Amino acid sequence: MIAEAGLAALWLAAAMALLQLVGGLTLLRGGAGQLVPLIKPAAYVQGALCTLAFFALMWLFYVTDLSVLLVASNSHIDKPIIFKLAGTWGNHEGSMLLWVAVLSVSGAAIAFFENRVDPKTLSATLAVQAFIALGFFAFLLFASNPFERLVPAPLEGAGLNPLLQDVGLAFHPPTLYMGYVGLSIAFSFAVGALLTNQVGPAFARAMRPWVLGAWIFLTIGIAAGSYWAYYELGWGGWWFWDPVENASLMPWLAATALLHSVSVLATRNALCAWTIMLALVAFAMSMAGTFLVRSGILTSVHAFAVDPERGAFILALMLMYTSIAFVIFALRIGTVKQGEPFQLVSREGGIVANNIFLSVILAVVLIGTLYPLAAEAMGDKISVGPPYFNKATVPVMLLLMLALLIGPMLRWRRDALMRMKYLLIGAAVILVSGGLAAWILAPEVGLYPLLGIALSLALAVAAWMPLRGRKLLRTPLPTFGMVIAHFGIAVSVFGMAAESGFSKETLTALAPGESAEVAGWKVQLEDVKPVVGDNWVAVEGQMVASKNGDMFELGPQSRQFFKPEMQTSEAALLTRWNGQLYAVIAQPDQEGDGRWQVRLWWKPFVTFIWYGGILIALGGAISLLGRMFRRAKKPAINKWERA
């Protein structure tokens, strides 16, 4: 019953989206527009119906209704309740339903809150949004119905991939989806503004919070995903350049570029065509990400669907939306007014540099991700891994950081580098001396980690410079947001460089009572004991790590899950201020002499990677709050004046 109600809600929501689209089209064609007053209510109802459908599915997972195919094939009666709920989106159909629900609720939110843009542009934007939603409704209803029944109902259900049974990961997909969907709204705004000839600061101000919000969610999603991979996979790495990771990184890169250029458009009325282009690219990247992850073209924990029909469907949607958008772009871009001029050495110039470097990184990542797929279509089996991505992206990232040292200090329109000669000399001194010091202390480390450390040290200082000479109480919140986010980049890059350049690793086999050393730590394996969990059993290595008289206990586990059967390795992490000790225990040595394989890492400052990520997202949040706060304040002042 609940399942049928959910399905009915989806069909009705699709009808609402159609109404919204037709209403928008009649408006654009200059028709009588009887349907126009219905656009906003249709958006509200669509949002409500999709929320209903999503909660219906969640309820089915909550009660573990095994007569629903999706629940039966992805849940299990003995699963902890939080993972039963998270199971709602831990599979292909449920995650696509979440996508659509977030999309529709955001559409309703624009219809309700947005009052800055021209009503016609808003209607066009909502029509584009409905057009996107319709594609996904069709996908859900025809190719991946989450409410399909299973007759007869099985007794217990198949279970959820144990790797995905993790609290952090329960919230990873929704976070990324918020990001993807936020970019779809930026896309709708861009196309809406193009169609109604309203590309200008007002449109940019309406679009900016959505870009900023999407970017914050993507940042959190990527950071959380990276931390998950770090502690859950037990391989000691925090970024594998896996196509699925790239699928979330590419929209982030585009969103970061867009975030910067939309600010130029909002405050300086420049980079109009450029911003529109980036908005289209950012959404195309979200679609490409969804395609890569959901089509089953890749084999990984993320690729739930192995049905080629679904992959083809998403690919067709992606090609349709992006090609239509680029055709509109090509047809209408001539009508977009020229922006305000600026000199190359200026804040705008700095942001152009940011956009260029980010786009180059994006292109390189995109090529590296798609090349193996293209090669496979031609009959070649090729894999493109970290060596390619590191080699091709790290130099550009370092250039980007160099631009970031100076960019935020430049003035709008025109500036002279001579004005900041002392600052520049200071930055150069920190950079060179930091690099030299690191090189003297650790000559065996490669060039990139050393440059990364030097640049991040310089940036850690330079990031705060835009606050110099300002009255802090009067400084707008977005400026603080920018400073904190840039400082976050410095923190994160410092962690990445330190980890990749200075990690120490020990791999050995230990019998209980024996010990191993890594980077000055002595780790003793005291005992190995069996442990039992809700739906797994494990062996736990009881270890004591000691350094300079301090002793800590570590308990890495090797877990065996039952439904489905799978083995995972739970790393034990000991966090110190200057790094983490990472311990993994594996199978017993099969010679049968009582030894266990133990892998230990000392990862200096590795936690900075995610602290930096949190700071970056926090900077975004502060900036977003500042914009909303300023918006909220304005009508109040008007009221005061009127009184």
Contacting residues toward another protein, per CB under 8 A: 271, 273-274, 299, 338-339, 341-343, 352, 356, 359-360, 363-364, 367-368, 371-372, 380-385, 387-388, 391-392, 396, 507-509, 564-567, 569, 584, 586-587, 589-591, 595, 597, 599
Whole-number Å distance between alpha carbons of 346 and 353: 11
Smallest gap from residue 577 Cβ to another protein (A): 29
Nearest Cα neighbor of 238 from 214, 257, 222 is 222
Token pair 């109009």 in the structure block, residue: 272
Whole-number Å distance between alpha carbons of 102 and 295: 20
Pick between residue 368 and residue 612 the one whose CB is nearest to another protein.
368
What tokens does 239 get?
Answer: 């970024």
Token pair 């709204």 in the structure block, residue: 185
Smallest gap from residue 92 Cβ to another protein (A): 13
User: Across-strand partners of 546?
Assistant: 522, 551
Pick between residue 156 and residue 380 the one whose CB is nearest to another protein.
380
Sheet with 579-588: list strands edge to edge. 504-510, 596-604, 579-588, 572-576
Pick between residue 392 and residue 537 the one whose CB is nearest to another protein.
392
Smallest gap from residue 237 Cβ to another protein (A): 10
Q: Is the dihedral of CA 509, 510, 516, 521 positive or negative?
A: positive
User: Across-strand partners of 599?
Assistant: 507, 584
Long-range contacts from 370-373, C-beta under 8 angstroms, 24+ separation: 373/297
Pick between residue 44 and residue 388 the one whose CB is nearest to another protein.
388
Pick between residue 141 and residue 356 the one whose CB is nearest to another protein.
356
Pick between residue 71 and residue 586 the one whose CB is nearest to another protein.
586
Pick between residue 229 and residue 396 the one whose CB is nearest to another protein.
396
Smallest gap from residue 598 Cβ to another protein (A): 9
Pick between residue 109 and residue 392 the one whose CB is nearest to another protein.
392
Pick between residue 215 and residue 342 the one whose CB is nearest to another protein.
342
Nearest Cα neighbor of 610 from 220, 248, 244 is 220
Nearest Cα neighbor of 110 from 25, 46, 56 is 46
DSSP category for residue 475: S
Q: Count of residues for the chain? A: 643
Smallest gap from residue 176 Cβ to another protein (A): 22
Whether the CB-CB separation of 151 and 65 falls below 8 Å is answered with no
Whether the CB-CB separation of 117 and 198 falls below 8 Å is answered with yes
Whole-number Å distance between alpha carbons of 486 and 202: 26
Smallest gap from residue 299 Cβ to another protein (A): 5
Neighbours of 295 (CB within 10 A): 22
Smallest gap from residue 391 Cβ to another protein (A): 5
Pick between residue 148 and residue 380 the one whose CB is nearest to another protein.
380
Whole-number Å distance between alpha carbons of 313 and 311: 5
Nearest Cα neighbor of 175 from 255, 117, 270, 102 is 102
Whole-number Å distance between alpha carbons of 583 and 571: 6
Pick between residue 334 and residue 520 the one whose CB is nearest to another protein.
334
Pick between residue 27 and residue 273 the one whose CB is nearest to another protein.
273
Smallest gap from residue 534 Cβ to another protein (A): 20
Smallest gap from residue 381 Cβ to another protein (A): 4
Smallest gap from residue 275 Cβ to another protein (A): 12
- Strand, helix or coil at 352? helix
Whole-number Å distance between alpha carbons of 299 and 356: 32
Q: Is the dihedral of CA 333, 259, 95, 158 positive or negative?
A: positive
Pick between residue 370 and residue 477 the one whose CB is nearest to another protein.
370
Smallest gap from residue 563 Cβ to another protein (A): 12
H or E stretch at 468 = none
Q: Helices 39-62 and 92-113 sit at what angle, rounded to 10 degrees?
A: 150
Is the previous residue joined to 564 through a cis bond, with omega within 30 degrees of 0? yes
Smallest gap from residue 382 Cβ to another protein (A): 5
Smallest gap from residue 356 Cβ to another protein (A): 5
What tokens does 60 get?
Answer: 């089915």
Pick between residue 129 and residue 261 the one whose CB is nearest to another protein.
261
Pick between residue 383 and residue 546 the one whose CB is nearest to another protein.
383
Pick between residue 168 and residue 341 the one whose CB is nearest to another protein.
341
Whole-number Å distance between alpha carbons of 301 and 481: 35
Smallest gap from residue 359 Cβ to another protein (A): 6
Smallest gap from residue 7 Cβ to another protein (A): 27
Whole-number Å distance between alpha carbons of 333 and 582: 53
What tokens does 446 get?
Answer: 């490669």
Whole-number Å distance between alpha carbons of 583 and 358: 36
Cα-to-chain-centroid distance, residue 371: 22
User: Across-strand partners of 582?
Assistant: 573, 601
Neighbours of 77 (CB within 10 A): 12
Nearest Cα neighbor of 608 from 440, 519, 518, 487 is 487
Smallest gap from residue 120 Cβ to another protein (A): 26
